Amino acid sequence: MWWLDLAGAVHPFDRERFKPMTEPSAAVWMTVEDDPAWLPDEALAHVEAIAIEFPKFTDGRPFSLATILRARGWHGPLFAVGHFLLDQLDYLRRCGFTGFAPDPERYPYETLCELGPRLLRVFTEPYQASSAVPQPLWLRVRRDRAEQPVSEIEV
């Protein structure tokens, strides 16, 4: 299995490194049945990486798990693993995922190398706020009209 980083580089993914939340480990494997609250803040402080399993691409719970972990203030590597589509990379990134290890039967190494980096560059600047970019675009980009009184702006 292989994983894609945010820069578009592909690396081997070591699934054996990750252990279930019930076992003490520096690398945690989460399923959609797991609750991030089961990891107390003091335990989360010792975690080096988290992988969240996607059981099928239509299951949105891993997106929520990633968002919850980022909202709790966890800033370490967060891997999406399993059955998601490469078309979902932008959404995964915006929820806080930093690594992507798709199902190797659907996306073999060659496909991941070819499509992954290009798909990471499709949306370079998101409009909405997210876990990855906390401010919406209108707060990040200054526009000439921003300093005009509302009564002077033509609609």
Are 1 and 101 spatial neighbours (Cβ–Cβ below 8 Å)? yes
Per-residue pLDDT at 152? 54
Per-residue pLDDT at 55? 96
- What does the alpha-carbon distance between residue 40 and residue 36 come to, in Å, rounded to a whole number? 8
Per-residue pLDDT at 153? 46
Which one, of 85, 26, 23, 24, lies nearest residue 50 by Cα? 26
CB atoms within 10 A of CB 68: 16
Q: What's the distance, CA 130 to chain centroid?
A: 10
Instruction: Give the mean model confidence (pLDDT) for residues 24-32.
Output: 94
- What does the alpha-carbon distance between residue 53 and residue 102 come to, in Å, rounded to a whole number? 10
pLDDT, tens digit, for every residue of 38-53?
888 888 888 999 999 9
